[in-house]
Amino acid sequence: MALLTRKGENSFACRLEFGVFFIGFSGARNPEIDRQLSELLHFDQGKSVQSLRCDAHLKDETCWLHGEGWCFSKREPVVLD
């Protein structure tokens, strides 16, 4: 389970709960993201995830799992008013 809490217009706090798994829609799965997600969940069960980023950014050290247009991030949510 992923618990998302809206912190602002485009800001979400995120906590991945133990036992997380994702069921992709037909045709929407990305095998590389699936592989990375499996490895990361095995490593720390997502405990370091603090936010879901939907802003355009380059992958950096705060990215727990970086996708195209989204990111589970280790940084706290940033609220821009």
Domain assignment of residue 80, yes or no: no
Given this model, what pLDDT does residue 59 score?
95
In a domain, 24, yes or no: yes
19-57 tens-digit pLDDT: 655 565 666 678 888 888 888 888 888 889 999 998 889
Tell me if 51 is assigned to some domain.
Answer: yes
- The span from the CA of 42 to the CA of 75, in Å, is 20
Q: How far is CA 56 from the centre of its chain?
A: 14
Structural domain for 48, as ranges: 2-73
Q: Is 51 exposed, middle or buried (0-12, 13-18, 19+ CB in 10 A)?
A: buried
Number of structural domains in the chain: 1
What was the pLDDT predicted at 72? 92
Residue 37, Cβ density class (10 Å: 0-12 exposed, 13-18 middle, ≥19 buried): buried
